[in-house]
Structure 1
Amino acid sequence: MSTYITEDCINCGACEPECPNEAISEGDEIYVIDPELCTECVGFYDHEACQAVCPVECCLPDPKAVETEEQLLSRALRLHPDDGELKKKATANDFPSRFRK
């Protein structure tokens, strides 16, 4: 599932620079997350970076778009084809993921 930003967003922008996939952008009224770019930080962190910095905790997994760790890692690898470290960790099955806490 990708993460989404609820209407509780205060439009502070803290989340945008934290996203390893550049999936977050400023929308008309609140920040938004492109679900085609979101990997819930699988492969990069053991938590969702946007949620970790959000002062109102409005970055949440979308229950309408559930995805597995495998799907999210596959997307991360597709989005970052030149990231040798990510490939190495993925091959060794030793990558950061909120699913592995």
Structure 2
Amino acid sequence: MSMRVELDEPKCVASGQCVMAAPEVFDQREEDGVAIVLDDGPAPELHDGVREAAAICPAAAIHLVER
């Protein structure tokens, strides 16, 4: 199964929860803390962490497309 990670930057509230759940896939910009996607097509072994990041995002700014 493949996964594509999409981030709705304007919705991001810079809580950092995604970085804690999946640091290989998410980071935060230094200037404002808004999340950035480091890998929009993560390896299967990272999928659980990415799903957790999407589930705990307080702004619901992370969207996953799984095939």
TM-score interval, normalised by the smaller of the two chains:
0.5 to 0.7
Aligned residues: 61
Q: Normalising to structure 2: TM-score of the pair?
A: 0.64
CA drift of 1:2 comes to 2.8
The gaps in structure 2 that reach 5 residues or longer are none
Structure (1/2) with the larger strand percentage: 2
Larger Rg: 1
User: Would you say 1:49 and 2:52 are equivalent positions?
Assistant: yes
- Partner in structure 2 of residue 33 of structure 1: 37
Q: Determine which structure has greater relative contact order: mean sequence separation of CA pairs < 8 Å that are 6+ residues apart, divided by chain length.
A: 2
Q: Normalising to structure 1: TM-score of the pair?
A: 0.46
Q: Percent identity?
A: 13
Structure 2 matches for 1:1-101, cutoff 5 A? 1-6=3-8, 7-19=10-22, 22-27=24-29, 28-29=31-32, 30-35=34-39, 38-39=41-42, 42-44=44-46, 45=48, 48-61=51-64
The CA RMSD measured in Å over matched residues stands at 2.9
The gaps in structure 1 that reach 5 residues or longer are 63-97
